[in-house]
Amino acid sequence: MPELTPESSLALDRYLTDTLIGSDPALDQAVADQAAAGLPAIEVAPLNGKLLSLLARIAGARRVLEIGTLGGYSTIWLARAVGATGAVVTIEAEPAHAAVARRNLERAGVADRVEILQGIAADLLPALAGGDPFDFVFIDADKESNTVYLDWAARLGRPGTVVVIDNIGRSGAVAEADSTSAQVQGVRRGLEMLASDARFDATALQTLDRKGWDGIAVALVTDPAL
């Protein structure tokens, strides 16, 4: 048996990605263009993008909300999941990121079903109230605001809405109660909210892939009115 090393972990990630995803020109080009535009390489790993897509499909999601677009890599996966008559609303603070995402979504052939809202998510989320509920919410922006985003996920959702939070492991740092990192403390507050807030039932998984050691939380909105 191989030892767990960065190399053996990457080899397994490559094997699983090659076997279950393979080459996907629109996604591969999205990552390349994002890098060429100088955006950080912090998109979800391919296997995780496909997991998001599958979770959204398993949930029967027709309306998806994403907080944190970057270059639209995860957005493409979610847009494919909702199909041609579904809708994705994705929020991005940086105009340059939103511009790269728009081009990537167009090339992937899903721009018609995606609305990119450019601005600070906490400012834009209240205006989404009153529309049809979101069936699936992906939280992947400034970790300090995770509790704010969870609150909106419940308010904009319905019983049965699925919520996924990215980056809940951060190379193990999230286990450090006395961490001085505002991001780690934001992730911890979000996880504590998932545990204590009656509107949610949740778990979390560690992940180890080409993006390193991290994790996702997966939550179900039980009743937004609780």
Of 82 and 216, the one with the shorter C-beta distance to Mg ion is 216
Contacts with ligand SAH: how many residues (CB under 6 A)? Answer: 19
Residues sharing a CB contact under 8 Å with residue 175, sequence separation 6 or more, in sequence order: none
Q: Which is nearer to ligand DHB, 187 or 199 (CB)?
A: 187
Least Cα distance to 143 among 37, 54, 216, 34 occurs for 216
Q: CA distances (Å), 86 to each of 33, 80, 135, in order?
A: 26, 9, 11
Cβ–Cβ < 8 Å for 190, 165: yes
Question: Residue 129: beta bridge partners?
Answer: none
**Rounded distance, CA 62 to CA 99, Å?**
24
Q: Which of 46, 68, 86, 190 binds ligand SAH (CB under 6 A)?
A: 68
CB 41, min distance to Mg ion, A:
11
Phi, psi of 101 (to 5 degrees): -60, -40
Beta-bridge partner residues of 221: 200
Number of residues that bind ligand DHB (CB under 6 A): 4
Angle between helices 25-36 and 73-82 (to 10 degrees): 150
Residues that bind Mg ion (CB under 5 A): 140, 166-167
Residue closer to ligand SAH (CB basis): 57 or 222: 57
Judged by CB under 6 A, which of 13, 33, 92, 166 binds ligand DHB? 166
Indicate whether 167 belongs to the interface with ligand DHB (CB under 6 A).
Answer: yes
**In the complex with ligand SAH, which residue's Cβ is closer, 149 or 200?**
149
* CA–CA separation, 88 and 106 (whole Å): 14
Q: How far is the CB of 101 from ligand SAH (least distance, A)?
A: 8
The answer to whether residue 42 forms part of the interface with ligand SAH (CB under 6 A) is yes
- Rounded to whole angstroms, how far apart are CA atoms 12 and 189? 32
Q: Minimal distance in Å, beta carbon 187 to Mg ion?
A: 11
Q: Note whether 33 binds ligand SAH by CB under 6 A.
A: no
Amino acid at position 117, single letter? L
The correct pick among 111, 140, 145, 150 for binding ligand DHB (CB under 6 A) is: 140
Alpha carbons 134 and 56: distance in angstroms, whole number: 11
Name the one range near ligand SAH by CB under 6 A: 92-100, 104-112, 171-179, 186-194: 92-100
Which residues form the interface with ligand SAH (CB under 6 A)?
Answer: 42-44, 68-70, 73-74, 91-94, 97, 120-121, 140-142, 145
Which residues form the interface with ligand DHB (CB under 6 A)?
Answer: 42, 140, 166-167
